[in-house]
């Protein structure tokens, strides 16, 4: 493995790790949606690198294009749900919304 391969793999792991952190922190719904997007970008980078390393970039690019379309749809639906939750509860804090729901409160 040469230096460029290590940098690409390290970058993909770093981007994926930021996505995991965004999901695990769970303080803000926007941060969770961004975490999902970072996870997808890290996986996309690894797919492209895998195709380059294997000598078949066409298949990996097709998979990544499909993944990008799926990510866009997921992000649009997730952000629409975040807007509905914000209009309903007046906050994007996951903990506050959870406390309201556990208390049986509704608006």
Say if residues 18 and 38 touch (Cβ distance below 8 Å).
yes
Tell me which H or E stretch contains 37.
helix 29-54
Q: Which domains does the chain have, with CATH numbers?
A: 3-102 (1.10.287.3510)
pLDDT of 100 = 84
Taking all residues of the chain, what is their mean pLDDT, rounded to a whole number?
A: 92
- Helix 29-54 vs helix 57-89: crossing angle, to nearest 10: 180
Residue 98, pLDDT above cutoff 90: no
Say if residues 62 and 51 touch (Cβ distance below 8 Å).
no
| Distance, CA of 39 to CA of 86 (rounded, Å) | 24
Residue 40, pLDDT above cutoff 70: yes
Sorted by sequence, the CB contacts under 8 Å of residue 34 that are 6+ apart come out as 22
**Percent of the chain clearing pLDDT 90 (strictly above):** 76
């Amino acid at each position: 493995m040469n230096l460029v391969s290590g940098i690409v793999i390290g970058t993909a792991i770093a981007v994926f790790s930021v996505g995991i952190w965004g999901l695990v922190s769970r303080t803000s719904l926007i941060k969770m949606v961004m975490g999902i997007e970072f996870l997808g970008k890290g996986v996309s980078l690894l797919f492209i690198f895998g195709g380059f390393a294997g000598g078949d970039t066409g298949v990996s690019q097709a998979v990544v294009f499909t993944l990008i379309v799926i990510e866009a749809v997921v992000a649009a639906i997730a952000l629409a749900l975040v807007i509905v939750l914000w209009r309903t509860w007046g906050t994007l804090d996951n903990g506050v919304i959870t406390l309201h729901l556990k208390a049986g409160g509704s608006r």
